[in-house]
Structure 1
Amino acid sequence: MEKTNIVLIGFMGTGKSTVGHALAARLGWRFVNTDDVIEEQQGMTISNMFAELGEPAFRQVESKVIQASLKEGRCIVATGGGAVLAEQNRTVMKEKGYVVALTADAQTIIERVSQDQNRPLVQGDVAERVHTLLEVRKHAYDFADQKIDTSILTVQEIVEVILAEMNL
């Protein structure tokens, strides 16, 4: 099957949602932020899901949302940062989409996420949590078709790099 979707993966704070909106607008494709869909379906925030149901329950719902989002084609899908941890998610992303890993240096990520209370995995010492998670996930995004460091690029520059690589 032709890859007719673009899947944005990467650590939190790398710009997946922002870039996804811009890509969708540029191409005239649908945009799906999997975290937004999960919150709507579950009637609670991601943070509340982690607290009340646990991360495994969240990851199960996340997998279903990713699969559903990639069924139709012509869709930009921004995933949660940990979505790549499940092999089934990586498999469906590669089968159904062109996978773009957005990256950023640790300091940039810390600056972007430090004031966001809706990120359950960085509660407490944000810098310590970001450094720890980056180390744990340092190879988690290696399966991507393309990697882009968003630390110093504008959203429009990132969109142009993706489209040029895909010949769109």
Structure 2
Amino acid sequence: MQDEPRCNNSTNIFLIGPMGAGKSTLGRLLASTLKRPFYDSDKVIEGRCGASIPWIFDLEGEEGFRLRESQVIDELTQQTGIVLATGGGAVLRPENRTALNSRGVVIFLRTTVEQQLARTGKDRNRPLLQTENPRQRLEEMCKLRDPLYQQTAHLTINTDQRPPRQVMLDIKQRLMQHL
């Protein structure tokens, strides 16, 4: 984790973390509370493609999706005063980590594999979990991605067993210390 940067109304807030950590839910809450525009990079990609993330994965593979994701992240992070929820794998590409870290405050929403399974168990829009053993897949992704989340983030917030509003207030308090 890096030193917490100074934050003001034009500072971007970027949420990173694994699927099921609450990035989209918390991003919407935070943006509403702070009266900022909210973007979900996966939703922006779907809107531009006119197709779901699973369909993009089926047609273009993960590499095709990651290319689209990098383009959207580069574009959105150049705005000012936004809240952005990224996809869980956004940190896999170095250019995404650089754009996020250098263009705003990056908050790593940390959660356990158990919590991820509880939150994503019935969600069919998660192509990387359409496997015989979702737990094993999540554990593998955690091992690879956790160091990247930590390297990219300025702040880390645990979301396990906490209501979204409580987590959002925690994030807001941490950010306001730097306004």
* TM norm. shorter chain > 0.5: yes
Name the structure 2 match of 1:77: 84
How far is the alpha carbon of 1:58 from its aligned partner?
Answer: 0.8
CA distance in 1, matches of 2:138, 2:77: 29
Amino acid at match of 1:162: I
Q: CA deviation at 1:136?
A: 2.1
1:142 matched to 2:140? The reply is no
What code does the residue aligned with 2:117 have?
A: I
Query: What pairs with 1:15-164 in structure 2 (closer than 5 Å)?
Result: 15-124=22-131, 125-143=133-151, 144-164=153-173
Whether 2:138 is the aligned partner of 1:165: answer: no
Q: CA deviation at 1:138?
A: 2.6
Deviates more, 1:32-41 or 1:66-75: 66-75
Q: TM-score, normalised by structure 2?
A: 0.89
Question: Percent identity between the aligned chains?
Answer: 37
Misfit runs of 4+, over 3 Å: none
Q: Deviation of residue 152 (structure 1)?
A: 1.7
Show CA shifts across 1:44-93 (max 9, x none): 11111111111111111111111111222111000000000111101110
Q: In 1, Cα distance between the equivalents of 2:119 and 2:134?
A: 11
Q: Using the TM superposition, give the Cα deviation of residue 95 of structure 1 relative to its aligned residue in structure 2, in angstroms.
A: 1.2
Give SS of 1:12's match: coil
C-alpha separation between the residues in 2 aligned to 1:58 and 1:114? 22
**What letter matches 1:155 in structure 2?**
P
Number of paired residues?
Answer: 167
